Each structure stands twice: as structure tokens, then as C-alpha cells.
Chains A and B, each alone.
Chain A
Amino acid sequence: MRRNIFKRGISLIEVIIGVAIISLSTIYISQAYGGFVAASADNVARVQATFLLDEGVEAVKTLRGESWTKVASTTVGVPYYLIWNTDRWAATTTPQVTDGRFYRTMIFSTVNRDASFNISTTTGTLDNGTRKVDLAVAWNEKGSTSTRSISMYVFNIFN
């Protein structure tokens, strides 16, 4: 009789432990899978951000195409945003958000040239016909900020 009780007790504990192991692992696996899904679902945002970045590069060129002053008159080091102004792009310091999520900034900086007219970050004289533009698209992804960025030089080729 003692042996019987002992035997039955073990089988109940076994069931509880077994069920606990299986259900915990199922929960963990499905949680991990949920994480992978979230990561891959937000890939659309990365594609959207990349296109916005491409657009930024081309929009800076359309600003240059309108007049070099639009590029050259920007304050160095201050983030600018692209704003659609009826039929053209314009730069503004007022933050602009696309689709309620994406912030696209452009930071202009001056460029120096050395004696052989190569771009120099340390020495040289200021070249007013060249600007460096650092473009970035930032968006919120599950509470943290993701960023895509690109840098370009823009030259005064029309005036």
C-alpha cells in the first residue's frame, strides 16, 4: 500500500513538471518568434526610410537647381527639414514629419579645399561653391529610435 501511494504521487508530480516544461517552452518559443516577426515586420519601415533618404538627396539637388543661394544660405550645423511648397521642395528649420513617423533632417556644413583643390577637413580655404550635406531619417521603432543616414557633397554647377 505504501509503495502504491508513492508510485501514484510520482506520476502526478511528473505530469505537473512535464506540463510546466512543455508550456513554458511553448510560451518562450512563441515569444521569441513574436520578436522575430516584429523585427521582420518593421523591415517595411526601413525600406520607407531608405526611399525618403533617396528623396532627400534628390531634393537637395533640386534646391541647388533653383539657385545656389538656397543651399549656401543655410546655417551651418543646424538641422533643416524638407517641406513641400506647392510645386517644389524647400528647406525649413521647422521639424517636418512624414506619415506621422519619419523625421528627415539635413545638416549643411562648409567645405575647405587645400592648395591642390582637394576637399580637406582640417586645413585649406573655404570653398563657397561646395557644401557637405548629412541627411538622416529617424523613426520610432518599438520605443527606440532607428536611423538611416547618408552624406553627400553638393556643388554649384549652374551659376
Chain B
Amino acid sequence: MKHIQTKNNKAGMTLIELVIYFSLLAVLSAVVVSSIFSLFKSYASIKVGQDMETTAIQVLDRMTRDIHDADSILVNLSSFGIPSSYVTLSMNSSASETIKYYVASTTKIAVDKNGVYLGELSLSTVKIDNFLIRYINGTSTQALKIELGLIGEVRNASTTIYKNFYTTVQLRD
């Protein structure tokens, strides 16, 4: 009698233990798995943000430097006020050195030097939504207002980030 009771008692405890343990394990694994997924997701979104920053800085800083140094803007070799604008700068009019910034294959910002392809400034992970240049032809100064819209696609999350970067650069010559 005593022996049977002990056995029953033992079996009941083990079952409850198992149920509690497995339910806790299930909850815990759900938490761990979801936080691991969110780690991957946030890594992807940080990566996209960084790529967009890098692209904006590469494009706009280089354009700023070149526009500051430029002798003049070759208006007849530029197209302003449209979403895929392009601009040609005369860097050294005596040596007829020119630099052109434009949207290549609708996804990247490219540079030509003296009409020859020099390279891309945007990263391959970032696409171009908008490259709008406006020409400010003032009485004493000339400037370009540049609007760079970038599209970043976050992997594994199927979300798309749109960011705009704006700057204005005045010619110094």
C-alpha cells in the first residue's frame, strides 16, 4: 500500500514538472528565436542606412568639391529641374577639362571626366529615386541646388527606405 502510494505520487509530480518545463521551454524558445530574428532584421536595416549615408556623402561631397573648384557650369551640356538631371562642369576652361555627374542605368550616380566614364559614386545596394539639380543663376553668384533621393531595400524584411539629401553649392570662381 505504502509502496503504491509513493509510486503514484512520484508519477504525478514528474508529469506536472514536464508540462511546466516544456511550456516554459516553448515560451523561452519563442522569445529567443524572435529576438534572434529581430537582430538579423535590425542588422539589415542598419546596413541599408549606412549604405545610404555613404552614398549621399560620396556623391554630395564630391560634387560640392568639384562645384567649388569649377570655372563654370556648361549649361548647354547639362539638364536641370528633372528627376534625372545631369550637370557638366568646366573645371579648367583653358585645358577644356570637364566633369559630368549623371544618373547611369537609372540606379547609380556616375561621373565622366572629359567625356570618358570615370566611375560610380553610389553603392550597388542603394538605388536612385531622384537626382534633381536646379540652377541658380544669380546676379553676382551661380549655384546648384542638388536633391538626392535614395532608395534602400532592407533584406529579409521586404521594406524599402526612402531618404532625401539636400544641398546647395555655390561656384567660387
Give residues in A with beta carbon < 8 Å to B: 1, 4-5, 8, 11-12, 15-16, 19, 22-23, 26-27, 29-30, 33-34, 37, 40-41, 43-44, 47-48, 51-52, 54-55, 58-59, 61-62, 64-67, 84, 87-89, 98-99, 158
Instruction: Verify B35–A30 contact, CB threshold 8 A.
Output: yes
B49 touches A48 (CB 8 A): no
Contacts between chains A and B (CB distance < 8 A), count: 123
Across the interface, B170 reaches (CB within 8 A) one of A29, A61, A87, namely A61
Tell whether B76 is near chain A: CB-to-CB under 8 Å.
no
| Interface size in chain B (residues, C-beta < 8 A) | 47
Q: Does B27 contact A (CB under 8 A)?
A: yes
Known A1-B6, A44-B53, A47-B57; contact A88-B138, beta-carbon cutoff 8 A: yes
| Shortest Cβ distance from A47 into B: residue | B53
In contact, B28 and A44 (Cβ under 8 angstroms): no
Q: Is the CB of A89 within 8 A of B45?
A: no
A64–B60 CA distance with the chains assembled, in angstroms:
23
B73 to chain A, nearest CB (A): 14
Task: List, in ascending order, chain A residues with CB within 8 A of B164's CB.
Answer: 48, 98-99
| Whole-angstrom CA separation of A44 from B52 in the bound complex | 8
Given A11-B17, A15-B24, A23-B31, the answer on whether A66 and B139 have CB atoms closer than 8 Å is yes
B13's nearest neighbour on chain A, judged by CB, is A8
Chain B residues with CB under 8 Å of A58's CB are 143, 167-170
CB proximity of B141 to chain A, nearest CB, Å? 3
